[in-house]
Structure formats: structure tokens, C-alpha cells
Chain A
């Protein structure tokens, strides 16, 4: 026993000796724990980043702490218990926007990264609209790694030709095409489980009320139960009539499959669907499947982004800074995004590394009006998002646009939207 204690003391002393000079030395060592929900299909993209990091900092042991579950359902809960327990990971994944600001920045849990942005000259390479979503008047709080687009409609060009319709530019065009499809026994719009319904809602609402109103909605200047708000729900109700009845039992991949198999004509999904169709389904973008901005949202780019931040009290701060520097760099970004199926948040990325879809999305991103997504944590805080899910349930049951708009306004007030 005595021996053991002496050994422990010796080890502790050694550790202290070892760690003390590290802070001043250039070569980093110790650990770096990265917390994310990128497992499975997205794992290789994260691994590419980790490999780069390890090559640059061979002495740092990278702990890849992933918690599986689509869009971080479980990971976020685990993260919250860790943060409340005073045991933050070194760096964690968080959606840019209110999910970062509303949950972590307002709780004063993040370190300001403005110094890193200045040092690396990132204020020039990241678009201003994006930096606005990860910053407040007090600082910039995370480093964005990718950009996804939410308002995309997917289809198979060959099938559309066969059915004699074209990709709709507006919802009226869609309704006309949908009648033709219905007569042929084809589902006009494939839909999947609950969160994809919220995802569809944001695309429909954006087309119904326009960019200005959309922004006004989230800054608290426009009420959800105003005329525009109700109009969004009415249009949404009409769109739902053209979707498949078994939606709630399908995963988003199964809804995309319906389009690929020719059972449905269109599917509105984020551009991770492009990654799924090219990588898993081995389809050629532009030939086997086509895309367009979802009806009525041409020239508008509804984005969501993943980012990593530096929580206060992170055990290995220097290692995190090196990690964040890599994430924001052009090399890091261009290693990660082609594998993830997203585009780089930087305006100077090397487009030759991306496929046809990525190139077109990057072109749109640089010229379209940029708005934040609701379903993926950009526009509203987590309290609103959670309550919005029950408003959606209510609407699916009652199909009452007025009541849904009123309820949405109530939850907006409750969750302090625009404050």
C-alpha cells in the first residue's frame, strides 16, 4: 500500500513537471477531447480532420468522443449534463446560430474567439452574414466548419420527363404538377418523420412570407399570428395534402429513396441528401438526380452550419486553439467538407475538390440572400424549437392554420424570441 502511494506521488510530481513547461513550449502535448455527433456516415470526414491535426501535433492524444443520434438529439443531452457537472469537453460541436448563442453564450459558458479571428484573418474569409450568426456584440464564439443548405428540392430528371412535368419554381406550379402526379398514382412530395416536417415547414414558410418577414419573425418585429404568419401555415397545410400518408414511420433516407425509386416525384431535404445519394446510393449528381431551390425560394439560401467552440474551463486550452485554427483553415475545411457533403464556410475554398452539387451550392452561397434555418438551430433558441415540435403535432392533428399561428406566437413570447 505504502509503495503504491509513493508511486502515485511520484507520478503526480512527474506529471506536474511534464505539464508545466508545455504551456510555453511550441510543441503541444497532452490530450484533446473533441465532442461531436459525427459518427457513421459522417465519421470519415471528422477523421480526416483528426488525421491532419495528429500530423501537425504528434504528441497530442486526440480523444474522439462521439455520441450518435441524428442532428445531435442524444449528444446535446450528454453535453448538457457534462457542462452542468462542471466537466466540459475541450471542444464541442454546436450548430451555429441560436443553438450556440441562446444556449451556451447567454449562459456565459464560452470563451470569446475574436482574438483568433483577428490573428487568422478570418473576418475577411468568412461571409459577414455567417459571422453575425456565431457572434454577439460581445464577441465571436465559435469557428464554423461547414455550410449546409436546407431549402433544396430533389428529383430524378428522367422520371420528371417521363411524367411530363418540370421542377416547380413556385408552389402554384407544384400544385399543378401534383395533380398530374396524383392521377398517375405517384406521391408528389415525399416526407418522413417528425423533424423533416419542421424542415419542410421552414422552406414553405420562407416562400410564403419572404426573406424580410422571415428575419422580422426572428427578431421579434413580426408576430407569428400576423397575416403573413397565418398565410405560411395555410400554404403549409395545402402542401401537406400532397405528401405520403406513412411519413411518420419513415426515416429521411427512406423518403429520399422514394424519389430515387420513382415512387415519389420530389423531396425537400437538406443537401446531406446529396451526400447520401452520391456516396451510399452511388448516383451521379446532375444526371441520376437533380436539384433546385425549393419552390418559391429561388435566390434564397437557407443555411445551417456546424461549428466548434472553446468552453470556459476546457482542460487543454492550447490544444483546442490549435484544433480551432485547423478547422478554420482552408486546408482543414477542404479536407473535411467534400467528405461530409457540405460546402466550406470560407469564401476562398478550392472548388475543384467538390463534386458538381457542391460547386453549384458554393456558387449559390456566394450570390444568394442568406437566411438562417429554424429546424437546425440557427434562427430560434432550443426552448422555441422544442415547443415548436408540439405546435407542429397540434397542427398535424387539427390542420387549423389560425390556431397553429396563435400557438407559435405564444411559444415565441414564452421563449423570448427577438430578445
Chain B
């Protein structure tokens, strides 16, 4: 009987398994193969283009080559962009959800208002925000309504950058970040397990940070020349537009989570003397942790795949708001460098995988425990 069921299951599933196998995994594999070749340049559009195997040449060129500068800038941009989008959309979404969870007058109305931007396409959002952020209009002339001088900030075309670092010192910076993570984690754990936190997190963190600081000069350089990258202020405009579009969505996620918590629990907490703030801090938020995780995963994916919004807001060749996805499109379909474009695609795919694979593993484990 059981075997019978299995065969049935296999029969019904096999069409989608085969289709996904070919059109998702097969094509990922094909893209990876192309990224290892030298398909590009002259005659790349021939009927049977010449593809020679070159190993990881495209990847080293992107990360350490002279002409990969724009890709590196885009990658740094994408990191700052993802982090800002996560902080902004989750922070604002959570705030709105808490407000609406307390059932103010017109809750349903506000819910719709906040969720509405979600329903627009990125091209529409991008065009609206490009107009609003134009240098001589929109947001910049808001202060004039209260008698102040108009703002001069160029939201989408500023060339200033903050938090700059030299790509040469990439390794050193990676070590600093690792050290910082260890130390913060250690401080977090120090109350519960003082010894373990000390020996496993705090001490290695301090040693690592100190080592990177003292031995920075010995570390191998990631690039043969100085190359400064940083958080370009022009990205602010794009971050604003994306946060505007997605904070309503995170709000809806959290609101669904909060509504799922039984009222009895809240009443009990209130009876025990919990304030509103501590109810959310200690009871509601830990209970909606799965929602936070899925919001992080969905948003980080969106930010890594972002294309249309940036294309609509600043167009193709705007280095200070660049994004690897845009770079991939231009490298592939404008410069005809198909193998280089495939390499960028694979890098993006791997970054996305670093977000999703730990999530998949943990959820799979949880299911098995149950």
C-alpha cells in the first residue's frame, strides 16, 4: 500500500521535477559553465560562438582586475543597499504594525493605505520617486512651504560617499567584521554562559581584531592599486523608494503575526504588570520570530535582485547607484560579454544562497525534530 502511494506520488510530481530540473537547475548549471568560458567580445553573437574554457578567469577579473572596478563598486553598493533596506523596511513595518495592533480608529483604512504601495510595480514607483527626488522639485522644495530655503541635496546624482574603505584591505576589513560579530555575540551571551562566552567568543574576537589591526600590513592585498568604495549618498533616494514600497508589506506580515497571538496571553501579561513596551519586547516579538526571519529572507532577496526600480530611477550608467544585477544585464546584452555576465549572475546567485540555505537547513531540522 505504502509503495503504491509512493509510486503515485512520484508520477504526479515527476513532471514538475523534470521541468524544474531542466529550467531552473539545468540553466543554473549552464550559466555556471558559461561563466567558466571566454564567450564574449567580437563574434560572440555568431550562430555557433566559440567558447574556450578559461577556468575562474572571469571571477578573478571581476574581483581583482583593473576593469572590474565598476562591479566592485556595485557589489559594495548592493551590500549597503540590502542592509539599509532591511533596517528601514523592518523597522518601519514593525512600528506601523505595533501602532495598528492597538486598534486605533480607522485601523482597516490605515492598513490599506500602508499596504497600497506594495501593489505598484517597481517601474511606477521608480518613476514617481524620480520625479519627487528631482533636484529642483518634489522633496527638495518641501521646506519652502514653511518658509525655509529649499534643500540642495541631489538625491539620485550626488557623488559623495561615506564610510569609504580601500578594496585593497578587503581581507583586513573582513577580519574586523568577523571580530566585531564575535565580540557582540559574546557580550550578548555573557550573562547566560559567562565562561563559554569568554573562551569561545570574546577572547577570539579581541585577538582576531587586534591581530588584524597590528598585522594589517602583512595581509595580502586584494588589489594591486588603491580603490576606494563606500556608501554612495545617491543610493539614499533608491533606498527611500524601496523602503516606501516594502514597509507596508512587512507591516502586514507582522500584523498577521500579532493577531495570531491570543488575547489571553496579552491580558495575562498585563495582569502581571507588563507595560505595552515590555509586552512587545518580551512576548510578542519572540513569538513572531519566524515572521522576522521570513521578512529578512524575502527582503534580502528582493534587494539582491533589484533591477527595474534602479533602472527607472537612475538609468543604466550611473555608477553611484549601480547594482550587480544592472551590471550583469549591461555586460551581457550591451557589451556582448556573455561569460562575464554569467559570472556576475553566479556571484549574485551565491550571495542569495548564503541567505536562503541556512534558513532551509534550520527549517528542515526543526521539521525533523517534530
Chain A, 215-245, CB within 8 A of any chain B CB: 245
Which residue of the partner chain, among A77, A102, A416, contacts B329 with CB atoms under 8 Å? Answer: A77
* Chain B residues whose CB sits within 8 angstroms of the CB of A86 once the complex forms: 47
B45–A387 touching, CB < 8 Å: no
B314–A248 touching, CB < 8 Å: yes
Whose C-beta in chain A lies nearest to the C-beta of B327? A390
Which residue of the partner chain, among A107, A245, A247, contacts B43 with CB atoms under 8 Å? Answer: A107
**Complex formed: what's the CA distance from A382 to B41 in Å?**
9
Does A25 interact with chain B (Cβ within 8 Å)? no
Which residue of the partner chain, among A84, A102, A103, A248, contacts B157 with CB atoms under 8 Å? Answer: A248
Does A281 interact with chain B (Cβ within 8 Å)? no
B336–A246 touching, CB < 8 Å: no
Whose C-beta in chain A lies nearest to the C-beta of B322? A393
A77–B334 touching, CB < 8 Å: yes
A248–B336 touching, CB < 8 Å: no
B157–A247 touching, CB < 8 Å: yes
**Complex formed: what's the CA distance from A246 to B49 in Å?**
43
B67–A386 touching, CB < 8 Å: no
* Chain B residues whose CB sits within 8 angstroms of the CB of A247 once the complex forms: 157
A103–B317 touching, CB < 8 Å: no
Interface bits B311-336 vs A (CB < 8 Å: 1, else 0):
00011111110000000011101111
Does B70 interact with chain A (Cβ within 8 Å)? yes
Does A330 interact with chain B (Cβ within 8 Å)? no
Whose C-beta in chain B lies nearest to the C-beta of A312? B47
B69–A381 touching, CB < 8 Å: no
A108–B43 touching, CB < 8 Å: yes
Q: How large is the interface on A (under 10, 10 to 19, 20 to 34, 35 or more residues)?
A: 35 or more
Chain B, 48-74, CB within 8 A of any chain A CB: 49, 66-67, 69-70
**Complex formed: what's the CA distance from A382 to B338 in Å?**
13
Whose C-beta in chain A lies nearest to the C-beta of B73? A393
**Complex formed: what's the CA distance from A392 to B69 in Å?**
12
Does A360 interact with chain B (Cβ within 8 Å)? no
B333–A80 touching, CB < 8 Å: yes
Chain B, 121-168, CB within 8 A of any chain A CB: 130, 133-136, 154-157, 159
**Complex formed: what's the CA distance from A249 to B152 in Å?**
13
Does B186 interact with chain A (Cβ within 8 Å)? no
Whose C-beta in chain A lies nearest to the C-beta of B61? A414
B333–A193 touching, CB < 8 Å: no
* Chain A residues whose CB sits within 8 angstroms of the CB of B331 once the complex forms: 386
**Complex formed: what's the CA distance from A380 to B317 in Å?**
18
**Complex formed: what's the CA distance from A146 to B222 in Å?**
49
Give A396 Cβ to nearest chain B Cβ, in Å: 7
* Chain B residues whose CB sits within 8 angstroms of the CB of A249 once the complex forms: 130, 133-135, 154-157
* Chain B residues whose CB sits within 8 angstroms of the CB of A195 once the complex forms: 317
A76–B335 touching, CB < 8 Å: no
A102–B70 touching, CB < 8 Å: no
* Chain B residues whose CB sits within 8 angstroms of the CB of A390 once the complex forms: 67, 69-70, 317, 319
B336–A103 touching, CB < 8 Å: yes
Does B44 interact with chain A (Cβ within 8 Å)? yes
**Complex formed: what's the CA distance from A382 to B45 in Å?**
12
* Chain B residues whose CB sits within 8 angstroms of the CB of A383 once the complex forms: 40-42, 335-337
Give A397 Cβ to nearest chain B Cβ, in Å: 6
B334–A382 touching, CB < 8 Å: yes
Does A166 interact with chain B (Cβ within 8 Å)? no
B42–A102 touching, CB < 8 Å: yes
Interface bits B74-99 vs A (CB < 8 Å: 1, else 0):
00000000000000000000000000
Whose C-beta in chain B lies nearest to the C-beta of A410? B66
Which residue of the partner chain, among B41, B46, B69, B156, contacts A248 with CB atoms under 8 Å? Answer: B156
**Complex formed: what's the CA distance from A83 to B317 in Å?**
25
Knowing A83-B45, A381-B42 are in contact, say whether A246-B335 is a contact too (CB < 8 A): no
What count of chain B residues pass the 8 Å CB interface test? 39
**Complex formed: what's the CA distance from A86 to B48 in Å?**
11
B70–A393 touching, CB < 8 Å: yes
Knowing A109-B47, A382-B334, A390-B69 are in contact, say whether A248-B318 is a contact too (CB < 8 A): yes
**Complex formed: what's the CA distance from A209 to B66 in Å?**
26
A386–B46 touching, CB < 8 Å: no
**Complex formed: what's the CA distance from A106 to B336 in Å?**
13
- Most chain A CB neighbours (cut-off 10 Å) among B46, B49, B320: B46
Does A394 interact with chain B (Cβ within 8 Å)? yes
**Complex formed: what's the CA distance from A106 to B46 in Å?**
8
Does A415 interact with chain B (Cβ within 8 Å)? yes
Give A300 Cβ to nearest chain B Cβ, in Å: 26
Knowing A102-B42, A249-B157, A393-B317 are in contact, say whether A386-B69 is a contact too (CB < 8 A): no
Knowing A246-B135, A249-B156, A390-B67 are in contact, say whether A397-B42 is a contact too (CB < 8 A): no
A73–B316 touching, CB < 8 Å: yes
Whose C-beta in chain A lies nearest to the C-beta of B66? A410
B45–A246 touching, CB < 8 Å: no
* Chain A residues whose CB sits within 8 angstroms of the CB of B133 once the complex forms: 249
Chain A, 392-419, CB within 8 A of any chain B CB: 392-394, 396-397, 407, 410-411, 414-416, 419
Does A39 interact with chain B (Cβ within 8 Å)? no
* Chain B residues whose CB sits within 8 angstroms of the CB of A246 once the complex forms: 135-136, 154, 157
**Complex formed: what's the CA distance from A134 to B291 in Å?**
60
Knowing A193-B315, A249-B134, A249-B154 are in contact, say whether A106-B333 is a contact too (CB < 8 A): no
**Complex formed: what's the CA distance from A396 to B155 in Å?**
17
Give A6 Cβ to nearest chain B Cβ, in Å: 30
Which residue of the partner chain, among A109, A194, A245, contacts B318 with CB atoms under 8 Å? Answer: A194
Chain A, 66-99, CB within 8 A of any chain B CB: 73, 76-77, 80-81, 83-84, 86
* Chain B residues whose CB sits within 8 angstroms of the CB of A193 once the complex forms: 315, 318
* Chain B residues whose CB sits within 8 angstroms of the CB of A419 once the complex forms: 42
Does A389 interact with chain B (Cβ within 8 Å)? yes
**Complex formed: what's the CA distance from A413 to B332 in Å?**
19
Which A residues fall within an 8 A CB radius of B? 73, 76-77, 80-81, 83-84, 86, 102-104, 106-109, 193-195, 245-249, 381-383, 385-387, 389-390, 392-394, 396-397, 407, 410-411, 414-416, 419
Among all A-B residue pairs, the 5 with the closest Cβ atoms: A248-B157, A386-B335, A393-B319, A77-B333, A194-B317
Further pairs besides A108-B47, A249-B156, A385-B334: 6, Cβ < 8 Å: A107-B49, A249-B130, A383-B42, A390-B70, A394-B70, A410-B67
Q: List 29 A-B contacts (CB under 8 A).
A: A73-B316, A77-B333, A83-B45, A84-B45, A102-B42, A106-B42, A106-B43, A107-B42, A107-B45, A108-B46, A194-B316, A195-B317, A246-B154, A247-B157, A248-B156, A248-B157, A248-B234, A249-B135, A249-B154, A381-B42, A383-B40, A386-B330, A386-B331, A387-B67, A390-B67, A394-B319, A396-B159, A414-B67, A416-B42
Which B residues fall within an 8 A CB radius of A? 40-47, 49, 66-67, 69-70, 130, 133-136, 154-157, 159, 234, 314-320, 329-331, 333-337
